[in-house]
């Protein structure tokens, strides 16, 4: 039986990954900050699907938290076959309105943690000749959206580059780029969502189904919805200056996952 490690597993996209993978019979390592929620999630998934659900309380905004997950990923006696780097958050406010401490914390979680955990997982996976990594980014990666979009753009570029370097190793790496997903993401960031049209919202469970299918197909970037595929096609044809103006007028109040 294979094992998947999911960061940010207790809510939103991470919880949807946990539900789907448990239903498919994968054992899980659930990573989040809230020990109580982790315990409840592990118990529910074990009771419902009969899988083993290990909990690892870790704050990926800290050195100790990242190191703890690195250590688990490096455990060759209990190998991890799929890593889902899902943990992340958004800051409310324009550039310079957000404190430097909060900006650096975002980069710690979105960039440093993703780099270190992907590397910790990919080495043992390459040795075994199989494995997968899904790094959750955002369609914001393709728009000029300040620190959040820049950090997610890094995730996409890093994942694509790593996937190219590991081609033929049996290890698949994919950046997942969702749009607006009905999760706790915006509420936690204090971001309003009243101005977001209903048709832009995605269902987390359907999103995960599409993402896992794209990973199986060997895609290195997944935009798992026809609506957002079409929008990203328009973005590619739109001048960057115009995109920047649109983002500054509408996008700073909120951002896709």
Active site residue ranges: 148
Residue with tokens 């529910």: 44
Nearest to residue 131, comparing CAs of 257, 1, 4, 20?
4
* Sequential DSSP letters for 246-257: HHHHHGGG----
Query: What is the distance, to the nearest Å, from the Cα of residue 217 to the centroid of all Cα atoms in its chain?
Result: 19
Q: How far apart are CA 165 and CA 184, in angstroms?
A: 35
27 beta partners: 3
Question: Which burial class, exposed, middle or buried, applies to 29 when counting CB atoms under 10 A from its CB (0-12, 13-18, 19+)?
Answer: buried
- What SS3 state is found at 32? strand
């Amino acid at each position: 039986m294979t094992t998947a490690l999911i960061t940010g597993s207790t809510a939103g996209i991470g919880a949807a990954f946990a539900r789907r993978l448990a239903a498919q019979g994968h054992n899980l390592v659930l990573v989040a900050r809230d020990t109580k929620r982790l315990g409840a999630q592990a118990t529910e998934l074990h009771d419902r699907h009969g899988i083993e659900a290990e909990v690892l309380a870790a704050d990926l905004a800290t050195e100790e938290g990242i190191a703890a997950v690195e250590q688990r990923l490096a455990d060759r006696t209990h190998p991890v076959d799929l890593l889902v780097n899902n943990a992340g958050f958004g800051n409310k406010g324009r550039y310079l309105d957000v404190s430097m401490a909060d900006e650096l914390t975002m980069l710690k979680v979105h960039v440093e943690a993703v780099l270190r955990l992907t590397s910790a997982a990919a080495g043992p996976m390459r040795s075994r000749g199989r494995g997968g990594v899904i790094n959750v980014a955002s369609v914001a990666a393709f728009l000029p959206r300040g620190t959040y979009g820049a950090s997610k753009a890094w995730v996409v570029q890093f994942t694509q580059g790593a996937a190219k370097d590991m081609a033929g190793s049996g290890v698949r790496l994919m950046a997942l780029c969702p749009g607006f997903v009905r999760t706790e993401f915006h509420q936690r960031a204090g971001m309003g969502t009243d101005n977001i049209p209903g048709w832009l919202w995605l269902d987390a469970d359907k999103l995960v189904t599409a993402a896992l299918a794209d990973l199986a197909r060997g895609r290195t970037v997944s935009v798992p919805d026809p609506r957002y595929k079409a929008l990203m096609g328009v973005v590619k044809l739109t001048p960057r200056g115009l995109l920047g103006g649109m983002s500054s007028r509408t996008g700073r109040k909120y951002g896709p996952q």
